[in-house]
Amino acid sequence: MSQNSRVSRVCGLNNQGIVDYSQAWDYQRSLVKARVNNPSLNDVLILVEHPPVYTLGTGSSLDFLNFDPQAGEFEVHRIERGGEVTYHCPGQLVGYPILNLRYYQQDLHWYLRQLETVIINTVANYGLSAYRVPNLTGVWVEGKKIAAIGIKVKRWITMHGFAINVCPDLSGFKQIVPCGIADKPVGSLQEFVLDLTVERVRVDVAQAFASVFKLKLVEENILN
């Protein structure tokens, strides 16, 4: 479906607290499978936090781990998204959009730029000027990467997504080369806005997501 003939879409907003990575991963895959079988199903945006966990993209190099994955303190998962290794932990808001890109644009670069726009627009609410770095995926503020993006698309149904460092313990990033980028430090929004909370960012990122993708969000809280 071309963008010009696009209809207004309903998107379920699934807000969760701290959820084990494997549980959220299984849930995403179940949603994608359902939409591959029935493309008319509504889109979904899952917003969660995770206990400490490292994830590697399909082709990620183990050289970017500064520890033995068989003997590390936290879980390590190799998953089907693109990109290199990243770290999730409480205080980081993770967004998993399950969108049918046939209703938007069947263009992965377009989709990545849209996700970056969602984050840039969210951060603008806090008086911060976030930006892209040429030839890289993600969002930066004052030289620090505050959001990472990694996606998987199957038959134009998206999964995985973005992670925004709101107020996490950043020490876990010292165990990896985040996203394979050695020369650009990772930061958090709380470094710039001291009282910022994940709950505040949840609200703002959902609003920005609805605006950028021209969606109607409907609250739902089912994760199984």
Q: Which residues are catalytic?
A: 179
Strand order through the sheet with 86-88: 75-78, 53-56, 86-88
3-state SS, 65-98, equals: ECCCCCCCCCEEEECCCCCCCEEECCCEEEEEEE
**162 phi, psi to nearest 5 deg:** -130, 155
| Amino acid of residue 106 | Q
Q: What letter would DSSP give residue 6? A: P
C-alpha–C-alpha distance, residues 13 and 143, integer Å = 31
